[in-house]
Chain A
């Protein structure tokens, strides 16, 4: 039973990064009236990159190449604790969400240091932006988890996400949390309106500019980790909404999770097609909406808990 769930979890975790990127790109093409790339195009891209011989900057230190794999390993470790199926994660213990958040933090510092390592002013700029935006994203994530923790009294990530379904003001709590997670997804996975992955101007990039000097297998590792992080956030949104329990109804749960994650990708693609990237100085305000939404959920929980 647990083995099946675990396999399903890993299957979703490893395929979704490719599929979600495919769906987002397809959605965007559909809005502008093109056919768009194949759904699995990013997988072909990754395979192609693996066969390339990397080109390294003269300035790069040994940390530069190691950094890409630190990011990859951290992403996979975080994935093992993220309950994308709801009340289940392969690795689950008390306060595991702190490990998830801080492992991703370690990945971020590795990414930023790789960017600083080549001595380029553009990449430094990307790192500075990533660092300052993460200072807004991180508290929002903890507010979100803290409110779920207070609502359910649970202390492991999977349990507190799963038990949210049984709380009295489910809809009032989950709606703001979903909004908060969606904003965090856009920030962490570098999507419009925070960052535009398709821009060709280095001055307006955040994530893309940090990996300008990566190539070959290292670039593949970086790109896969970025997509993996996006699918973790999409998976968390799916788990918040997913009405099925992974232990009672594994098949329905897995299918619902799959469908919901694809739906999130569709939403992300639509937002990306219909709106433009925000000016950089507005991004922090946009990220504050995530904190505000989580705070709203907290107030609901507080009022609900004190009997109002």
Chain B
């Protein structure tokens, strides 16, 4: 545990040095150096645990009222730590390139890097905390640091609004979490997570179901499951690219971690919990996927795709829960293993996509896809990273997204004897997942095709050029990870195997090695096929260049007889998605503003289509109505109205009486 405490110390000191009164370059240097040291320290503790070593425990005394902080690093926490810290480090490296122009300016950049250190610190607390206080402290630290990072450009009112929206949402989630913890504490009289979980495992029934739903709501808000996602597209669009990347790829995985932690601690779940988790996740995946189709802001699009991908991972966890409920070890391994692998893979390709989007924004100062185009020729590196990430996020071979979705699919088509209706229902879930895959292929083709291919649509924007090295390197590292985990998915599975083993221990008399061995064999085959696919494509391309060495003739694009085509006439993002979105009008609200050409000499005319969030719209409508009702009510009542005082007193008496009567047992 020494390394972990040391890492906390290094990160805190690093954050302190970042605030010193020196130049911005030195402050950033302190930030990066402390992150790098912390990463190395954490790895030295985490790797033995992931290789099957014993848990690392430790504690340190702390002031009243906490009393002491206790750590336990087990395989689940180790898995999350193993990539969270290095990816935050890469994000900080990207930040140096992204915020380049501020380095010479008067703005204090140290705060930004200190906050990034705080993010890393919060991972250490959340993923190793053994008691609720440590856990919640880390949870809150992450939320506040992320909020501060989001409002980097705080002079812009929209950015402040997005930040505030995020802050409120994340605290609504916290209320649910605290409610669940309070219920658990009153029954177990302990702050230790394992005691809370222990109570849950021994007392199935209504109260446990309530706690489960409270926890899922809270963690769903953190990880932006539908319908708790409305804060996410705004926050991701407003934040600097590396902050969006870290929030989407790394920070919000804490919600999934917490869900898994409680599932792991609370032993055998009820069957309905598994089905509930699957239904919740499928909805999230489908709706998140559909929303990606309509977006014209690339970062909003990527934000919605997070909702989709946590949904996909959630399907895996749901399958794992069903496996636990049915004592089926294959389902547990495939479900939890596949879900965790997807979490890792998503972290790789999502950051990569956000970094690519950030490079485009930094140079063009615009992220609206209808104004971009043709960037592949001027930014080949960024474009390559984007398309590799895009193919991976659509879960297509030969990249890593395919390996993890393959595992989740194999859980859905397990071929185990589960009863015919359960098998068929899981097949329906698989069909929904296939739909999600096709939809995300659509939106990635749309995004890449419109932004990077064809011709530039708007000449007034600055000339494009390749991103700086500080930004390209993190992008390339992520791309390398995406390709490597696609061709050798066994690498990812090795990280996931120990956490999956933890879940399998809940099932009596199971030979975990055998089940995991079968998955290792399958995934190495998938990796081999992906590798063969890449090799075959390269070989065919080489053969083609040898057989037909002649350079091709160049000519204009086929215009169907019309030769005055200009770049504004290319297919746009809106035209790409209109037909499809038309079929899902009930879910996606497409807003169209237009001014049709009129008169004999039509002058200005335009059509603007945008997809707004249905949940957010509804939310504000409801709040607005509520506000009006409250205003009306208070207008009707006079302050000195005796009925008001009487009813208020009556309500107070009833609440106090209920608290006295319903409270169980004495105060501790």
Interface residues of A (CB under 8 A from B): 53-59, 61, 63, 65-66, 69-70, 72-74, 76-77, 93-95, 98-99, 101-103, 105-106, 108-109, 112-113, 115-125, 127-129, 131-132, 134-135, 137-143, 145-147, 149-150, 153-155, 202, 212-213, 216-217, 280, 284, 291, 298, 301-302, 305-306
Interface residues of B (CB under 8 A from A): 373-374, 376-377, 387, 391, 394-398, 402, 405-406, 409-410, 413-415, 417, 420-421, 423-424, 426-428, 430-435, 437-439, 441-442, 444-446, 448-450, 453-455, 522, 525-526, 529, 532-533, 536-537, 540-541, 544, 547-548, 550, 552-560, 565, 567, 569-571, 575-577, 579-580, 583
Contacts of A108 in B (CB 8 A): 441
Name the one of A102, A132, A140 contacting B402, with C-beta atoms under 8 angstroms: A102
A302 touches B558 (CB 8 A): no
B557 touches A58 (CB 8 A): yes
Smallest Cβ-Cβ distance to B577: which chain A residue: A128
A32, B261: Cα distance in complex, Å: 69
Smallest Cβ-Cβ distance to A54: which chain B residue: B552
A284, B450: Cα distance in complex, Å: 24
A60, B413: Cα distance in complex, Å: 41
A105 touches B431 (CB 8 A): no
Smallest Cβ-Cβ distance to A124: which chain B residue: B571
Name the one of B376, B410, B577, B580 contacting A63, with C-beta atoms under 8 angstroms: B376
A54, B565: Cα distance in complex, Å: 22
Smallest Cβ-Cβ distance to B395: which chain A residue: A102
Name the one of A54, A73, A119 contacting B373, with C-beta atoms under 8 angstroms: A119
A124 touches B557 (CB 8 A): no
Contacts of B415 in A (CB 8 A): 94, 149, 153-155
Name the one of B398, B402, B432, B526 contacting A139, with C-beta atoms under 8 angstroms: B432
Name the one of B431, B550, B557 contacting A59, with C-beta atoms under 8 angstroms: B557
Name the one of B426, B434, B444 contacting A138, with C-beta atoms under 8 angstroms: B434
Name the one of B406, B437, B522, B529 contacting A105, with C-beta atoms under 8 angstroms: B437
**Interchain residue pairs with CB less than 8 A apart (11):** A56-B554, A106-B398, A119-B374, A119-B454, A119-B557, A131-B445, A138-B434, A146-B431, A155-B410, A155-B414, A213-B557
A55-B555, A119-B374, A213-B557 are contacts. A72–B540 as well, Cβ < 8 Å? Answer: yes
Contacts of A57 in B (CB 8 A): 554-558
Smallest Cβ-Cβ distance to B522: which chain A residue: A94
B437 touches A301 (CB 8 A): no
Q: A59-B374, A102-B406, A119-B570 are in contact. List 15 more A-B contacts (CB 8 A).
A: A53-B553, A56-B552, A102-B395, A102-B396, A102-B405, A105-B437, A118-B454, A120-B570, A124-B449, A128-B576, A129-B579, A149-B415, A150-B420, A155-B413, A302-B424
Contacts of A125 in B (CB 8 A): 571, 575
B453 touches A116 (CB 8 A): yes
Name the one of A59, A142, A301 contacting B434, with C-beta atoms under 8 angstroms: A142
B579 touches A135 (CB 8 A): no
Smallest Cβ-Cβ distance to B401: which chain A residue: A102
A124-B576, A149-B427, A150-B423 are contacts. A55–B553 as well, Cβ < 8 Å? Answer: yes
A109, B526: Cα distance in complex, Å: 20
B557 touches A69 (CB 8 A): no
A59-B557, A121-B569, A131-B442 are contacts. A116–B391 as well, Cβ < 8 Å? Answer: no
A93 touches B522 (CB 8 A): yes
B449 touches A112 (CB 8 A): yes
Instruction: List 3 tightest A-B contacts by C-beta distance, closest first.
Output: A124-B571, A146-B427, A116-B449
Contacts of B522 in A (CB 8 A): 93-95
A146, B430: Cα distance in complex, Å: 8
B575 touches A128 (CB 8 A): yes
A109-B445, A213-B557, A217-B548 are contacts. A131–B580 as well, Cβ < 8 Å? Answer: yes
Smallest Cβ-Cβ distance to A106: which chain B residue: B396
A59-B557, A77-B529 are contacts. A117–B427 as well, Cβ < 8 Å? Answer: no
A106-B396, A112-B449 are contacts. A212–B421 as well, Cβ < 8 Å? Answer: no
A112-B449, A117-B449 are contacts. A135–B439 as well, Cβ < 8 Å? Answer: yes
B533 touches A101 (CB 8 A): no
Contacts of B377 in A (CB 8 A): 61
A158 to chain B, nearest CB (A): 14
Name the one of B529, B547, B560 contacting A122, with C-beta atoms under 8 angstroms: B560
B567 touches A119 (CB 8 A): yes
A73-B533, A118-B557 are contacts. A59–B424 as well, Cβ < 8 Å? Answer: no
A105-B438, A128-B576, A142-B430 are contacts. A56–B446 as well, Cβ < 8 Å? Answer: no
Smallest Cβ-Cβ distance to B576: which chain A residue: A128
Give the interface centre of A54, A70, A98, A128 by most chain B CB atoms within 10 Å.
A98
Contacts of B533 in A (CB 8 A): 73-74, 77, 103, 106
Contacts of B576 in A (CB 8 A): 124, 127-128, 131
A99-B397, A147-B424 are contacts. A128–B413 as well, Cβ < 8 Å? Answer: no
